[in-house]
A and B are shown apart, each in its own frame.
Chain A
Amino acid sequence: MKISFQKNNRKFSEIFLGALTWGAALLMCAVLIYIVGFIVWRGAPYLKPSLFSPVYNSVNVSLLPALVSTVYMTVFALALALPFGLGAAVYLAEYARRGRKVVRMIRLATETLAGIPSIIHGLFGMLFFVTYLGWGFSLLAGVFTLTVMILPLIMRASEEALLATPDSYREGAFALGAGKLRVVFRIVLPAAAPGVLAGVILAVGRIVGETAALIYTAGTVAQMPFAETGPPLVDVFSSVRTLSVHMYALTREGLHTNEGFATAATLLIVVIAVNAAAARLAGRVGRNGA
């Protein structure tokens, strides 16, 4: 009697827990689908050609300048942060003696840097890049502020990836008489590439989604970042707004809420496209590697 009761009891708790976890997963999906659906449903009807005019004015509220500026902002910030972040990670993981005080301090500093709210990065950027260095509200000030923000992300992800590379690879390479540089660049870094890429994806997400820090450093002018001579030359001292800032401006003014949703839908598509491309790239690097 007792035994069968316990048996039933266990069965019930198993079903209950199963339903609970299943429900949690379903809820997660539902929230995501709701958000994406809501934005697309509200935004899609307003995705008109005029929204993609090369020049912004208060009638067409074009998002194209913001889109172009976002791309430049992302590319420049990554181009600055990746070499430094990766370089620092290579030093920490491959050259510094493990467990040294300096290493621990650098790691602590990185973690602190990663935990600082973006508005404080914005304030620092405004005081230092915009005012002290006299760059004004500009693409350049925005890029440098973003670089400071994403540096710890890239560095930590790269370091983790390097440390996760088995020592047996390093031993095997050293045992063949290969030099340190060759071991790091030909063996360890390729093996760590998917992890580094994961850090880059995180960084792209942070850049594309950033508003607070950029309003104080890059400003909010809705224009292409090009020099007067025209593309492809870029005027790094021109004030620009990214898509997220553009959205913020549109919805805050309250006059173009629908176009704000259309912008959000575009931003969503861009982010999904970037992530999909990165995932494919990671897959290819991984296949070559593994």
Chain B
Amino acid sequence: MNVFDIAALNLWYGNFQALKEVSLAAADAEITALIGPSGCGKSTLLKTLNRMNDLIPGCRISGDARLRGQDIYTELPVNELRRRVGMVFQKPNPFPMSVYDNIAFGPRAHGIKSRLALDETVEKTLRAAAIWDEVKDRLRKSALGLSGGQQQRLCIARALAVTPEALLLDEPTSALDPISTGKIEELLLTLKKDYCIIIVTHNMQQATRISDKTAFFLLGEMIEYDHTKKIFSLPRDKRTEDYVTGRFG
């Protein structure tokens, strides 16, 4: 069963149409990469899937977007939707508090108070995000003291702590060095077994390295959506070919 089903989705910021008739399905245990030049709507689509667009004034949406068959705008309370669909941002954004409290923030927001349960969640998610060994001795210290790559893995752990079904990542490695990027990519490949992952990336190599499917966007339209191998070797559309071969973008 698909985790996300999107059909004929349109989105406007004021009078500007940022998404035009986008249809896409994302399945469990798969990484879907969204690629395309800046301003093509890929981040906008990502932010629609957990309704972060709600925070932007003047944002209007039509069409159909479903999480496991439930309409994300009418059938799911927004906080429940965001719990089930985690998000990691371009710039690592740990909260200005301890490593422990960063992870525990989400579970606490959803009513988990038991010390034991929180301890367990913190360890489990930090292990899942492959950062436990680096921070286990400094759980009580500020998360802002971590390196950029560690901060980003902490943010992934933080997203995992509310037991989501899907992870949305908005260029999660664009602010990181190659080694940290490698670690995050490795991590995503491990996490893919248990989550539906959608990643926006400007890095074509990254898309080929980690994603199973790739969607190419241009000026708000989804031009092509197929297996990553296909997109990068035998694209059907001329514009996709021009983009993935580096002729523009």
Chain A residues within 8 Å of B, Cβ to Cβ:
97, 166, 168-179, 182, 186-187, 190-191, 287-290
CB proximity of A164 to chain B, nearest CB, Å: 12
Interchain CB contact under 8 A, B95 and A288: no
Contact of A190 among B96, B106, B110 (CB under 8 A): B96
Considering the complex, give the chain A residue whose CB is closest to the CB of B93: A168
Please, how many angstroms separate the alpha-carbon atoms of A289 and B80 in the complex?
A: 28
Please, how many angstroms separate the alpha-carbon atoms of A289 and B142 in the complex?
A: 7
Contact of A172 among B57, B78, B80, B93 (CB under 8 A): B93
Interchain CB contact under 8 A, A176 and B106: yes
Interchain CB contact under 8 A, A190 and B97: yes
* Binary contact readout B168-192 vs A (1 if CB under 8 angstroms, 0 otherwise): 0000000000000000000000000
Beyond A172-B95, A177-B106, A289-B96, 9 extra complex contacts between A and B, CB < 8 Å = A166-B93, A171-B55, A175-B89, A176-B83, A176-B158, A177-B82, A178-B105, A178-B106, A289-B97
Considering the complex, give the chain A residue whose CB is closest to the CB of B90: A168
Interchain CB contact under 8 A, A176 and B105: yes
CB proximity of B78 to chain A, nearest CB, Å: 8
CB proximity of A258 to chain B, nearest CB, Å: 50
Interchain CB contact under 8 A, B95 and A173: yes
Please, how many angstroms separate the alpha-carbon atoms of A248 and B158 in the complex?
A: 59
Interchain CB contact under 8 A, B109 and A179: yes
CB proximity of B120 to chain A, nearest CB, Å: 18
Report B60-99 residues with CB < 8 Å from chain A CB: 78-83, 86-87, 89, 91, 93-97
Please, how many angstroms separate the alpha-carbon atoms of A174 and B89 in the complex?
A: 12
Contact of B109 among A170, A178, A190, A288 (CB under 8 A): A178
Cβ contacts under 8 Å, A97 to chain B: 57
Interchain CB contact under 8 A, A174 and B52: yes
Could you say which of A175, A182, A187, A287 has the most chain B C-beta atoms within 10 Å of its C-beta? A175
Cβ contacts under 8 Å, B87 to chain A: 175
Please, how many angstroms separate the alpha-carbon atoms of A172 and B87 in the complex?
A: 8
Q: What are 17 A-B contacts defined by CB distance under 8 Å?
A: A169-B93, A169-B96, A170-B55, A172-B94, A173-B95, A176-B82, A176-B86, A176-B158, A177-B80, A177-B81, A177-B109, A177-B110, A178-B79, A191-B96, A288-B142, A289-B142, A290-B142
Number of A-B contacts (CB under 8 A): 74
Cβ contacts under 8 Å, B80 to chain A: 177
Answer yes or no: B50 CB below 8 A from chain A CBs: yes
Known: A190-B96, A288-B97, A289-B97. A174 touches B55 (CB 8 A): yes
Considering the complex, give the chain B residue whose CB is closest to the CB of A178: B109
Interchain CB contact under 8 A, A175 and B97: no
CB proximity of B46 to chain A, nearest CB, Å: 11
Contact of A175 among B50, B57, B91, B110 (CB under 8 A): B50
Cβ contacts under 8 Å, A179 to chain B: 79, 109
Cβ contacts under 8 Å, A289 to chain B: 96-97, 142
Please, how many angstroms separate the alpha-carbon atoms of A176 and B156 in the complex?
A: 11
Interchain CB contact under 8 A, B91 and A168: yes
Please, how many angstroms separate the alpha-carbon atoms of A59 and B197 in the complex?
A: 82
Interchain CB contact under 8 A, A171 and B142: no
Considering the complex, give the chain B residue whose CB is closest to the CB of A186: B105
Known: A172-B89, A176-B105, A186-B105. A290 touches B82 (CB 8 A): no
Cβ contacts under 8 Å, A168 to chain B: 89, 91, 93
Answer yes or no: B162 CB below 8 A from chain A CBs: yes
Interchain CB contact under 8 A, A171 and B52: yes
